[in-house]
Amino acid sequence: MKSKFHYILLLIVAFAACNQLSDEEKAALHLQEARALIAQNQLNAAKNELDSVHILYPREVPMRRIAKHLSDSIVVIESKRTLAYCDSLLPQMEHVKDSLAKNFRFEHDTLYMEEGQYVNKLLRTESNAARCYLQTFITESAKVVMKSTYCGGKQINYNMVELTSNDISVSSVPGDVHQFETDGMHYETLLLNDEDAMPLLQFISEHMKDRIKVTLKGGSSYIYYLSENERRALGESYHFAIVMKDVTRLKEEQRKAKIRIEQKMKK
């Protein structure tokens, strides 16, 4: 009981002493604590202390200037860590990308395409004439496009794709379909971009060894099944897209980290 009383008394004394300090001295205490936290590698806690200087003592310009300098130091520390992480991981991911790329053909028609794209060698357009099929393109910037093509003797006016395997289904969002007719055959093509394509590709990747039914839905329904080669090619496309996105993300984080370091070091 006595020790508890002494503890409360100390708190009262400390509180009273703190209230006798000027705003400049109080801000300096926050800066002192921030420096200690930075030394202990507790950067988020240090940021909170520095924020307190700006929020609680807006008129203490010299103290706020020091707080800003310390905040810049934290940005440099974090950016150097990010850069080190990217520098260590990027070569590994580039190696994985190059290994997977062997199953893909790179296409780049500079007259019509802003950037090149990868397509699995088993999913080349010239191999899919006069049939229903799914095809995936992965651009140099890691954007994914899935093309669903219907070919038949009549129009079905579909606008979405559903995949089913082992009583589990996943569907695309409705989209715009391009239609044309040639030699008595009707063609309808639906394009699904990135966030709409990736769930379908992930589903195929997870069911590569299972039978997968493709249902084209809209005005009329049409059903066909993916072949073993198609399942493998689309599954490979999913994994290649994931790696491409990781490589692109690491390069972007690397670029931004270098810019942040350069900017802060100039100040």
DSSP character string of 34-61: HHHHHHTT-HHHHHHHHHHHHHH-TT-H
How are the residues of the chain apportioned to helix, strand and coil, as percentages rounded to the nearest 5?
55, 25, 25
Residues 6+ apart with CB under 8 A from 235: 201, 204, 205, 208
The sign one gets for the Cα dihedral 23, 27, 32, 36 is: positive
Q: Judge if 163 and 111 occupy the same domain.
A: yes
| 46 pLDDT higher than 90 | yes
CB-based contact 160:194 (threshold 8 Å): no
94-107 pLDDT, tens per residue?
A: 999 999 999 999 99
Give me the phi and psi of 41, to 5 degrees please: 70, 25
Number of Cβ atoms within 10 Å of the Cβ of 241: 25
What is the arithmetic mean of pLDDT over 134-159? 94
Q: What is the pLDDT of residue 109?
A: 86
Give domain status of residue 264, yes or no. no
Total structural domains within the chain: 2
Q: Judge if 129 and 58 occupy the same domain.
A: no
Q: Judge if 151 and 184 occupy the same domain.
A: yes
| 16 pLDDT higher than 70 | no
Q: Judge if 166 and 242 occupy the same domain.
A: yes
116-133 pLDDT, tens per residue?
A: 999 999 886 655 667 899
Q: In what order do the strands lie in the sheet with 158-165?
A: 168-171, 158-165, 213-218, 222-225
Q: Judge if 139 and 228 occupy the same domain.
A: yes
CB-based contact 30:49 (threshold 8 Å): yes
| 215 pLDDT higher than 80 | yes
* Domain at 179, CATH number: 2.60.40
Q: Judge if 169 and 70 occupy the same domain.
A: no
Q: Judge if 233 and 124 occupy the same domain.
A: yes
Q: What is the pLDDT of residue 112?
A: 83
DSSP code for 121 = G
Residue range(s) defining the domain that contains residue 6: 2-91
Q: What is the pLDDT of residue 91?
A: 96
Q: Judge if 135 and 183 occupy the same domain.
A: yes
